[in-house]
A and B are shown apart, each in its own frame.
Chain A
Amino acid sequence: MSDTLGVLMNQVVSGPAEARALGDEYITAVGKIVNSHVRNEAAGAAIFDEPSIALAPTPREKWLACRMAMEEYGHHLKFNKLAADLGVEDPYARSPLSVFEYEVGSWTEYVMTKAIVDLAEVVLMEDLSHCSYLPLRKLCRSLMPEERFHVGFGTTTARQLAADPAKRDDVRRAAHELITTTLPFFGRSDSRNNEVFRRWGIKRMTNDECRAEFVRRTRALLEDELGLDHPEVDVRWHGTSS
């Protein structure tokens, strides 16, 4: 945890009116976080989940994928409502993060996105479950059971797939690629945005702390659960956008 003392570390901002009273910097900061979730939940549903409904090997899995796609779409709408309430609705200002450039071509790849990309979402939402902006804190807490189910589905199914010699290599390949493409999702190591988020108690963890926590969990998933190697990764990231 960073030693930066957030000005709102132990306070709550109960709604849009209180947030506005704190000034533009707070509104803009909350808006950036909320809008990143507006975009990513929508992109996740449209790019990963919906196409995967057709890839499912059995009716039961098809319908489970359908349910999860609708849950992600519902998450998108809930974040969008938060942005609208706060007057910062700007869902199309930036394209979705790099992880959504990954194309899902098989059921195995879809399963691994639930195990890995949704895990990244869980790490971010756990941090936001202590956010100074109460509506965002409450929303993240309320979505956690569904996100944890998605990760649990991914993990359980990945275990079954990895036990099949014909699928094991595909599981490994997808896992390595997804872990690598997900790392920038947490933002730059020297992000000025993240400093502002922490100062206002919107987030508690630095981008690198979130990334390290994600890697700790993907390592446990691959090495302990699936008996696979973990890719060499750097928990720092100095990419071109923050």
Chain B
Amino acid sequence: MARHFELSEPPAGLAGELGRGGDRVERLLHGFCEATRPSAAPGFTSPAPARPATRFTVVLDRGTAAATMDLVDPGWLADLDRRRAAARSRLLEAGREDQLELAEHVAMLVATPRLDPADPQDAEARAVSGALLWLIGTVVAGALAGGDGGEDEDGTLAELADLLESGWWPIGRVNGRFLITPYTAARGEPRD
């Protein structure tokens, strides 16, 4: 298996190396790269992605998005933790430890530098980027295990993967609503 120390996008042939579910992981990472591509002109930000299903509540400014982090339902987080753990143990049982490790390694290599805060001391931007990294790690495990069935029957992780792929940060469940925001707002980029 190829070794990677630095990556600006998913390496060629990743899906094949990851085995079942690998194509989903590769698509997710390409979508993430597209949504976080630095804009060419200063002051210009890519437009918010097309709105997904109406059951999500869209938050458009970073202040609100960041403030709602404190209100996210711990039950939602615990549910995702359980799904992630179930997906991981299913992969380990299936002898796919190397593929899981490669998927997580590549996802973190691609995503971490793209989410670097502009100001190194900006704790809020670091927490936002940590939320995205945590979600990416969770859906990557779910995508790989997806074909094996069981832990994500209602498609929760698959839906989060769709949001992440198309440029949305699923902030989480807050007071019965599900909040999402575009990466661009989450990263504090100026809006047109």
Contact = CB atoms under 8 A, between A and B. Distances in A.
Given A53-B134, A77-B6, A80-B5, A63 B112 contact: no
Interface string A157-183: 000000000000000000000000000
Most chain A CB atoms below 10 A, which of B123, B126, B128, B130: B130
Interface size class of B (residues with CB under 8 A): 20 to 34
Contacts, number: 70
Interface size class of A (residues with CB under 8 A): 20 to 34
B127 A64 contact: yes
B70 A58 contact: yes
B5 A66 contact: no
Contacts of A78: 5-6
B72 A59 contact: yes
B98 to A, nearest CB: 17
Contacts of B70: 58-60
B149 interface: no
B97 interface: no
Interface of A is mostly: helix
Contacts of B108: 70, 73-74
Contacts of B49: none
A81 interface: yes
A78 B134 CA distance: 21
A91 B172 CA distance: 39
Interface string A60-71: 111111111011
Given A62-B77, A149-B121, A67 B133 contact: yes
Interface of A: 53-54, 58-68, 70-71, 73-74, 77-78, 80-81, 84, 145-146, 148-149, 152-153
Interface of B: 5-6, 69-70, 72, 74, 77, 81, 108-109, 112-113, 120-121, 123, 126-131, 133-134, 137, 172
Given A66-B134, A71-B112, A84-B5, 20 more contacts: A54-B81, A58-B70, A59-B77, A59-B131, A60-B70, A61-B127, A62-B77, A63-B69, A63-B131, A63-B134, A64-B127, A66-B130, A66-B131, A67-B130, A70-B108, A70-B130, A77-B109, A78-B6, A80-B5, A149-B120
